Amino acid sequence: MAARTDLVTDPAIIEGLLLARRGQAYYSRALSRLSDADFDGPSLLAGWDRRHLIAHVGLNARALTRLVEWAATGIETPMYASATQRAEEIDFSATLPVQALRNLSDHAAIHLTVEWRDLPDEAWSREVRTAQNRTVPVSETVWMRTREVWIHAVDLDAGARFEDFPPELLERILVDVTGSWARRREAEGLPRFTLEATDRALHTVAVSQAAVPQAAGPDAAGSIAVRGSSAALARWATGRGSAGVTTADGEPAPAAPRWL
C-alpha cells in the first residue's frame, strides 16, 4: 500500500507543517527523558507542575484537531466549550497515571497530524475561531501548534533550550510576540521595544517591528533597546527569563509584557 501524504500543495503551509512536526518530535524527545517520578516535579512554567504542562500540551493537540475538523466538515467544533471547561480538563488529566499521560501526548499529536494530512487544499483557507475568540484561517493552527510544542519542550525542564531552535523559528517567535505587543500597545500602554539580535543580521529586528501596523505610543527614539542573541531574545520575549538580555546601556532588561 502506498504511503499517504499531505494533500496540501501550498509551499508555505508545507514548510510550516515540517516545522510543527519537527517541534513535536523535539517535545516528545524531551518528554521521553523524564522518568515516571519526574512527572511530579515542577515545570519551568510558573504555576504549573509537569503533569499539568504535559496534560495541557496533549489537550491542545486535541483542541486544534477540533478546529481542523471544523474546516474539513463545516460543522462548528470550538477548541473548548469554555475557559472553565478547559481548565477543569487540564486539572483532571493531570491526575492520570503517567503512562496515560504519555499516551495522551502521543495519540493526540498523531491525530492532529493525520487531520492536517487529509485536509484538502481548498479547506486550508476556511475560517475557524480560536480560544481567544480570534477568527483565523485554519492554516493558523499549524503555527499555533508549532509554538506550543517547541516552547513547552523547554518548559518541561528536561534539557531542551531556545538555543536549539532553528533560526526561522526564533525569527517567527519574535515577529509573533512583537506583533502582539504592537496591536495592544495603545490599549494597554505598552512600551515600545527595539530588539537587537547580536548573533544575526538585524533584518530580524526590522521584520519584527514592521510586521504589524504600529499602534500609537512612544516614538522610535523613545523605545527601549533590548539586546541579546536571537535565542535569548525569544526566551525573554516569551516571558521565560532575561538571562543573556540587557538594555543598550548594559543594564538588566525589564520584564517583557505578556505575549498571548
Q: What is the pLDDT of residues 199-251, one digit of tens each?
A: 975 444 433 443 333 333 334 457 899 999 999 999 999 999 999 999 999 99
Residues β-bridged to residue 137: 127
**Is the CB of residue 57 less than 8 Å from the CB of residue 105?**
yes
Local confidence band at 3 (pLDDT 50, 70, 90 cut-offs) = low
**Is the CB of residue 108 less than 8 Å from the CB of residue 65?**
yes
In whole angstroms, give the CA distance from residue 216 to residue 164.
35
Per-residue pLDDT of 147-177, as tens digits, reads 999 999 999 999 999 999 999 999 999 999 9
- Residue 175, C-alpha cell as written in the block: 515577529
Local confidence band at 4 (pLDDT 50, 70, 90 cut-offs) = confident
The per-residue pLDDT of the chain, averaged, comes to 91
pTM, to two decimals: 0.91
Amino acid at 153: A
Other beta carbons within 10 Å of 67: 26
pLDDT at 223: 87
Per-residue pLDDT of 20-35, as tens digits, reads 999 999 999 999 999 9
